[in-house]
Amino acid sequence: MIGVKDQNDKRHAIHHGGWTVKFVVWALLIVLMFFVPDVIISFYETLSKFGSGLFLLVQVIILLDATHTWNDAWVEKDERKWYIALLAVSVGCYIAAFTISGLMFIWFNPSGQDCGLNVFFIVMTMILAFGFAIIAMHPQVNGSLLPASVISVYCAYVLYSALSSEPRHYVCNGLHNSSQGVSTGNLILGMLTTVLSVLYSACRAGSSTTFLSPPSSPKSGGGKPLLDSELEEGKKRKDTEAVPVSYSYMFFHVIFALASMYSGMLLTGWTGSSSSDSDLIDVGWTSTWVRMCTQWATAALYVWSLVAPLLFPDREFY
């Protein structure tokens, strides 16, 4: 699917059709996986760890793009009610972020236990939320409170996901330290939620017009005519020119491949080795640290999106 620019390309039909053949190939691949040597599985496990990290980074970029787009859409309306809505949503997100952080102190910092690591994670999340607001509202920064609040509540959610992924025997995991397993219903619900969230993220990333659309795509914003004569010539060539594709097929499949790696890592706890938590979905120190690194990457990218125009005023970032 590399280099597909218009719908006259034969690969365009392959991308959108042939579902019977695709289903048969998919079923055969599943069966063949049971006969693949262990060394190949181990190699794919290592590859999936890097691919999953890249997918998490793509998720963060999509989130940042969505929050800025949301904010710009409401600001462009330039009406009082939309400014009030911006303020209400921003305040609501900040209340939710600090409420979640407060609950984390209760759930993951039991009295009588030395839970310095959990306290560090929670306090750092609250500091980041304050920092986002301060930087975004600085007079020299072209920021807004809405993206800062949305990123803050997302970081709080990632914090909860990270702490809840701590091993069940860890004394500071107040939610699950009394049991060594979870019910079948919770396992199924956790798997279903994971699959749906990953599928949504992959679809959103694969159809994103920000960084996945080819230059010839009408969504990419490239090649816009500047003169009326060019518009007239474009109308004359409309019937003869091929219709460009709306997004990059190559990146679409790459995103889904990364999403499948991420799903595999979630379901195996980011490791192929057996452990006491091997029967649980997405549990273990690896899952915890991956999520915390994701939170810090989110914070770094958001802050960079605010300060980059100040550091490089000659470059266009939006």
Query: Which tokens belong to 42?
Result: 């181990």
pLDDT of residue 113: 77
Cβ pair 108, 118 in contact under 8 A? yes
pLDDT, one tens digit per residue, over 123-181 is 999 999 999 999 988 888 877 888 899 899 989 988 888 888 788 777 888 776 544 44
In this prediction, the residues of the chain whose per-residue pLDDT falls under 50 are 178-187, 190, 209-227, 230-231, 239, 276-279
The SS3 of residue 27 is helix
Give the residue among 198, 216, 213 at the shortest CA–CA distance from 256: 198
Cβ pair 180, 169 in contact under 8 A? yes
60-82 exposure pattern, b = at least 16 Cβ within 10 A, e = fewer: bbbbbbebbebbeebeeeeeeee
Residue ranges in the chain assigned as alpha helix (H): 10-16, 19-32, 38-77, 80-107, 116-136, 145-164, 184-206, 228-236, 249-267, 285-311
Contacts of residue 225, Cβ cutoff 8 Å, sequence gap at least 6? 231, 234
pLDDT of residue 225: 45
Give the residue among 153, 146, 131, 148 at the shortest CA–CA distance from 87: 146
pLDDT of residue 201: 57
pLDDT, one tens digit per residue, over 209-218 is 444 444 444 4
pLDDT of residue 244: 73
83 CB-side CA count, 13 A? 3
Task: Estimate to the nearest angstrom the gap between the alpha carbon of 157 and the chain centroid.
Answer: 13
pLDDT of residue 186: 44
Neighbours of 299 (CB within 10 A): 23
What phi and psi values does residue 6 have, to the nearest 5 degrees? Answer: -140, 170
The SS3 of residue 72 is helix
Question: How many angstroms separate the CA atoms of 3 and 239, rounded?
Answer: 22
